[in-house]
Amino acid sequence: MLIFDKSVQGRQGVMPPASDVPTTVNIKQELRRDTDARLPELSELDVVRHFTELSRRNFGVDTNFYPLGSCTMKYNPKVAERIASYPGFAHLHPLMPQLRMGGLLTQGALEVLYDMDKFLCEIIAMAGFTMQPMAGAHGELTGIMIMAAYHRDKGNKKTTVLIPDSAHGTNPASAAIAGYKVVSVPSDSRGVMDINALKKVVNSETAGIMLTCPNTLGIFEPDIKEICRIIHSVDGLCYYDGANLNAIVGKAKPGDFGFDIVHLNLHKTFACPHGGGGPGAGPVGVVEKLLDYLPVSLVVKRNDGTFALEYDRPKSIGYIAPFYGNFAIILRAYVYILMLGKEGLKRVAENAVLNANYIKEKLKAHYDLPYGQVCKHECVFSASKQIETGIHAIDIAKGLIDRGFHPPTVYFPSIVKESIMIEPTETESKETLDAFIETMIELAQIAKNEPEKLKAAPITTPVGRLDETAAAKNVDIAEV
């Protein structure tokens, strides 16, 4: 029920003050209201109960297991939330002075940005980072813009970017926006990039490659160093999509593999809030030869120990975001790194890999497993076995909703038919994983013996199964 439907004429929760707009103020006729604003009339208690009830319908990692493959929906420690709310950080304005006229007020924030740059350089093996990108896809675009700037500066005539067929959909979009033609490289029978196919498409016009490692099947690319060597042989650059860094953080460094440009999703690896259209952060790191092309501004440390922003960078790609990025998100990741330290970050990867392989082994007898080798942070099943009774991956997903679990990613990557991509992260307990595994086995049995039950799911939600195709074709937007 909408809050408007609960309205009772004459009921009030607040007593608004009389208008303080002078009657002499000349308001244009087209800006005047003909009637009073249509607002619901409710008591404060009615309003509180209405929105509290709505909040209970929200699904988030704080309330339920969220095994969304390729998105690393890990728990966000509340200590980071608390520190991000400290007045010394939360009350800062980006236009406050850096060094003069009370500029000491901003020195702490600048130091966080400076230190975060150094932390990420050490974790990833890069020479420098920009904190400006507002999300992972924004980081992708920034990285490809840096790639393009490098080739323009050298006078290279580069036209293509290579991307594996299992890549995230934003990869080809970022390359195309930067002006490159996308060339897809197929996977081989192991579920990794076909090295022979790669050799056939690399040429003097190859600007670079965009690669996720481990890939979207949760498999580590065993030929990663050879792939980077092949790209470098034509003066191409290797770009690392950091979406799956959680699998190797603290254990291996993309810079050591041969990557030249790296974007990170702070929300995926360093436990910041994720999704919902809210704030994000996608820092981009580069090797030494690409430092000149990083966006402005960069935080630098002066000889006297103070911090300032540097703008004089003639080869920079310029501004890619206002001010310094989403500072509060960066701050949360900063706290997370300090809290865990070097050994803690290693355990993140170890436990994430352990959890994913635990699920893989427990479910492989009940769902098809296209690639059976040891996975990293996620495992990808197929519901092709369930198709025999008319059940698809989407039906399994809807059944999970009725049982209190957020569905995994389905139908991605597209190279696996009826794919079900599960990423448990390191923050879930064995008890939670066991409950999820038992539910997945139960759904496999229902799909075999009572498929009509799954086709009707979900039945416990405020809204039942929607006809998504019809909704897309017949858009009905109403303004209340």
Q: Could you report the per-residue pLDDT of 112-129, keeping only the tens digit for each? A: 999 999 999 999 999 999
Query: Which position has the token pair 């297991």?
Result: 65
Q: Provide the CA 396 distance to its chain's centre, in angstroms.
A: 24
Does residue 193 contact residue 221 with C-beta atoms inside 8 Å?
Answer: yes
Measured between alpha carbons, how far is 437 from 444 in angstroms, rounded to an integer?
11
What the block records as the tokens of 425 is 């992260």
At the topology level, CATH places domain 349-462 in Aspartate Aminotransferase, domain 1 (3.90.1150)
Structure tokens at 432: 């939670």
At residue 474 the predicted structure's pLDDT band, cuts being 50, 70 and 90, is: confident
Tell me the fold of 78-339: Aspartate Aminotransferase; domain 2 (3.40.640)
The full set of domain ranges for the chain reads 78-339, 349-462
- Number of H-type helices and E-type strands within the chain: 15, 12
Check: CB of residue 218 under 8 Å from CB of residue 376: yes
Residues of the chain with pLDDT > 70, as a percent, come to 97
Q: In this model, does residue 16 exceed pLDDT 80?
A: no
Q: Give the lowest-confidence range in 256-265, 421-430, 454-463.
A: 454-463
**Are 176 and 129 within 8 A, CB to CB?**
no
What's the CA gap between 136 and 174, in Å, rounded? 11
Confidence of residue 480 (pLDDT cuts 50, 70, 90): very low
pLDDT, tens digit, for every residue of 146-164? 999 999 999 999 999 999 9
Considering the entire predicted model, what is its pTM?
0.89
Q: How confident is the model at residue 204 (pLDDT cuts 50, 70, 90)?
A: very high
Kindly report which listed range (27-41, 209-223, 284-298) carries the lowest average pLDDT score: 27-41
The edge-to-edge listing of strands for the beta sheet with 284-286 is 128-130, 284-286, 261-264, 237-242, 206-212, 160-164, 181-185
Residue 277 pLDDT class (50, 70, 90 cuts) = low
Q: What is the pLDDT of residue 262?
A: 98
Partners of 182 in beta bridges: 161
For residue range 26-71, list pLDDT tens digits in order: 788 888 777 777 889 999 999 999 999 988 888 888 889 999 998 8
Tokens describing residue 479? 């303004």
Which residues does residue 120 pair with via DSSP β-bridges, in sequence order? none
